[in-house]
Chains A and B, each alone.
Chain A
Amino acid sequence: MSYQTDEEKAEAIKKWWRDNGVAVIAGLALGLVIIFGWRYWTDYRNDLAAQASTHFEQMLYSAEDTDAATVLAKQSEQLDADFGATPYAALGALIAAKGLYQAGDAEAAIARLERVVDDAPDAALARLAALRLARVQLAEGALDAAESTIAAHDDSPEFSADFAAVRGDLAAARGDLATARDAYQTAIEGGAALSQLIQLKLDNLPSAG
């Protein structure tokens, strides 16, 4: 490309701008929108999480009071409604489940735990919730439900000992002593929580005869 005169140059630039000006401006605008939009979005998410966190801290605080079941239930529902996209909804539901169960509302507790199982932000939390769910179901006499809960979620080597302990309780409740004994033994060898208590249960099983 070579130009004969300055007028021709200016003319060429103007022509180029007429052809491409809109695209350039649109591109710049789009870029700015993306940059600021992204920043707004992360700020918004941080802000939302921080708010949810404050609510959750409040729940932890109310959970220290054993009669706070109704308050906890309400706080948990609020977390669900306003901050369902944050992990705090699940953590709050775990806390609420405890409060509800201790207040005698096992059904509501089961519902909260099921919500965490389905919607936990991390698989480990889902397994933890499933473990508790199975124990509550067992305590409520829903043996088959407990069994299927265990079957569906006992898929991690770290949790297998703790699930084995519940399986032992389940078998003992059904009177299947041999299975219970095996399960308790697996639980103790795997280092399940409260192993000493499991040992007591194992020692106390009637002899097979």
Chain B
Amino acid sequence: MLQSIRDRAQGWIAWVIVILISVPFALWGIQSYLGISGETVTATVNGIEITERDLDRRVQQTRMELRERLGAAYDPAAFATADLRRMVREEMIREVLLVEVAQRLGLRVSDQELKLRILSEPAFQHDGRFDNEAFQRLLQLQGLSERQFVEQLRQQLTGTQLIRAVVASEFATQRELEQFQRLSAQQREIDYARFAAADYLSDEPVADEAVDAYYQEHAERFRSPEQVKLDYVVLDVAELAEEIEIDDAALRQAYASEQARFVTPEQRRVRHLLVALPQQADDEQVAAAEAEITALRERILAGESFAELATAHSDDPGSAGEGGALGLIEPGMMDPVFDEAVFALPEGELSEPVRTRFGFHLVEVEAVRPSETQPFEAVREQLHEEQARAQAESLYYDLGERLATLAYERPDSLEPVVEELGLVQRQSDWIGREGGEGLLAEPGVLSAAFSEEVLIEGNNSELIEPDRERLRAVVVRVRDHRESAQRPLEDVREDIVTALRQQRAEAAALAAAETALAQVRDGEADWAEAMTGATLESVGLVGRGAALPDAVLDLAFTLPAPQSDAPELEAAALADGDAVVVRLTRVEDGEVTVSEGATSIPEAGLLAELAGRELYDTVLADIERRAEITREPLPEASDVD
């Protein structure tokens, strides 16, 4: 029996079994090498996959960044999820592409370079030095191992090498710079005649058909906007503080316990003379210095001037020039030994030699300004304000919490809030999506007022704090709502007639300008003659930035340069409805300061930088076109926050 198994075990059946068993072992884990992750993929760039999960994470990150950057102005509705996802995905595709290209080209940032970057990154520093703990902490925060982080950084830096190479190597040629100087600083000599539309206004009746047609054509303009009337309660720390009264007893107590804040300490005007000693002076040096300072003291006592001796002999470079004067000092500003001597010394008397770690001093107090205490009455107001504010803040947090709870638990009315918290219910007039005044102009408040929860369901909004720093909160509910509606023709007839008359006047002004222009061009009349009825504006030589109506400036710099003596003319309508005829008489090119062979003018760097950045985008776009990129369709409007 056993023998037969043994014999068979060497036959082909055994081999088949072994092979079958070994297949799962051989392939175990292979998917991690082949990149088959089993996750949903949203895009593929040259074979590298971007997973749905990575995209989700980045979208969330982007949202957080937007919220941080925009603060109170952040309105989630302005960044529809679908659009944001698309944008973020494009960004990721470019990033992955850049990494892939860098790898394919064989770009690689060296380890030293990486080390240098990490060591000099401010986020990893503490007191201006690289701090390994801070580094590790930040890594942990991002959920990265050190190795992963270094690899990520390497990819990033490698990617930037390409952009830096392209941007840093861009330059403007000499010819281009010359042309830039000639054109950008070019000046043109013009004058113009203005045909005011107001001069062509008439009371002539406007046909009903014309009014009708205008009304149909501009139907959108004659819609009233969607509006709401709001009921709201405001919790404002400033208002709360105003209500709070604090009696004098409490204020006096605060005054007493914070006495130090209201005391200006004693100050003394001091001059000194220093005979310096090194940190580790030996006995001999000390003796010599002591002898010197004693001698100087004798000389002052004998009547010589302190100031002159200090100027001549003091080793304190800061004060020697001032005759030893140190100015006003307070206790605690100087070396303790020095302090003690100064504040023990009577005014006008010369001290004994004082030994500090700097050496030997002679000190004289020139004047004493005694300690001053501000009386209670002087700071009463300030104290009251502080105390009231502090109480108001804790009241604010307390009320805020209860307000939020009440508004949520009783969503159909603000009355409980008014009754229980003693807040005032306020009412707004009609406001549209563009907002009202004050608090009602805050984007957060408006998006709440027009949200489904508040507008459609008729509930209270949650507690909205438009600006956290300001400690101000509001709950709104909609009292009245009107849809956007077409205003009837009769209501707007007057407006339309006025608009049509204005149009007619503007057309007439332009026609007059064009007739005058034709007269000058054909030589039927000279400039002044043809332009009677218009206001003549003589401008002279102007640059591109001149303060002229846009249409005039535009014509001035787009008309061809006049040949010989014949000026160039053109007519145009201005934004305000008037018409003009512009006359260009001379073109003067900007001064060229680029000398032969030199290409450094201040603008050169700027031009190169600008062009470099644009060309880098072009380079990337070119690479992107040749890359194999597949994008899975994104869900259109699944707005889940």
Contact = CB atoms under 8 A, between A and B. Distances in A.
Interface of A: 1-2, 45-46, 49-51, 53-54, 56-57, 60, 63, 66, 86-88, 91, 94-95, 97-98, 101-102, 104, 121-125, 127-128, 131-132, 135-136, 138-139, 156-159, 162, 169, 192-194, 197, 200-201, 203-207
B250 interface: no
Interface of B: 7, 10, 101, 105-113, 161-162, 164-166, 168-171, 173-176, 179-180, 183-184, 186, 557-558, 560-561, 563, 597-600, 607, 610-611, 614-615, 618-623, 625-626
A201 B625 CA distance: 30
Contacts, number: 132
Contacts of A201: 179, 183
Contact of A57 (B113, B175, B620): B113
A156 B598 CA distance: 33
Contacts of B180: 197
Given A193-B614, A203-B558, A51 B165 contact: no
The 7 closest A-B pairs by CB, nearest first: A50-B110, A139-B173, A207-B560, A193-B614, A104-B597, A49-B108, A139-B175
A87 B105 contact: yes
- Name the prevailing secondary structure of the A interface residues: helix
Contact of A159 (B166, B610, B618): B618
B165 A101 contact: no
Contacts of B626: 123
Given A57-B113, A86-B106, A206-B560, A94 B618 contact: no
B108 A139 contact: no
A45 B106 contact: yes
Contacts of B173: 101, 135-136, 138-139
Nearest to B589: A204
B607 A194 contact: yes
Contact of B176 (A122, A131, A135): A135
A193 B598 contact: no
A157 B625 CA distance: 9
13 contacts: A49-B106, A50-B109, A53-B161, A54-B112, A63-B168, A94-B165, A94-B166, A95-B169, A121-B106, A192-B614, A197-B183, A204-B561, A206-B563
A123 B607 CA distance: 25
Contacts of A101: 171, 173, 599
B598 A104 contact: yes
Nearest to A127: B622
Contacts of A169: 175-176
A95 B168 CA distance: 7
Contact of A194 (B166, B174, B610): B610
Nearest to B621: A158
A158 B625 contact: yes
Contact of B618 (A2, A91, A123, A162): A162
Nearest to B162: A91
Contacts of A207: 560
Given A50-B109, A87-B105, A204-B186, A128 B176 contact: no
Contacts of B183: 197, 200-201, 204
A135 B599 CA distance: 14
Contact of B169 (A97, A192, A203): A97
A208 B273 CA distance: 87
Contact of A95 (B105, B162, B165): B165
Contacts of A159: 618, 622
B100 to A, nearest CB: 12
Nearest to B164: A60
A102 B10 CA distance: 81
Given A102-B171, A135-B173, 5 more contacts: A50-B111, A51-B110, A97-B169, A136-B173, A197-B183
B180 to A, nearest CB: 7
A193 B110 CA distance: 33
Contact of B174 (A2, A128, A139): A139
A188 to B, nearest CB: 13
Contacts of A86: 106
A2 to B, nearest CB: 8
Contacts of B621: 158
B11 to A, nearest CB: 10
A51 B621 CA distance: 29
A102 B600 contact: yes
Contacts of A124: 618-620, 622-623
A203 B173 CA distance: 21
Interface centre among A60, A104, A124, A131 (most CB of B within 10 A): A124
Contacts of A200: 183-184
A128 B183 CA distance: 26
Contacts of A50: 108-111, 113
A201 B181 CA distance: 12
A54 B582 CA distance: 60
Given A122-B101, A162-B618, A207-B560, A53 B107 contact: yes
Nearest to B624: A158
Nearest to B598: A104
A88 to B, nearest CB: 8
Contacts of A98: 168-171
Contacts of B558: 203
B614 A87 contact: no
B109 A53 contact: yes
Contacts of B610: 193-194
Contacts of A94: 165-166, 169
Interface centre among B7, B105, B599, B607 (most CB of A within 10 A): B105
B67 to A, nearest CB: 32
Nearest to A112: B169
B171 A128 contact: no
Contact of B165 (A45, A54, A91): A91
Contact of A203 (B101, B174, B557, B625): B557
A121 B112 CA distance: 24
A192 B180 CA distance: 16
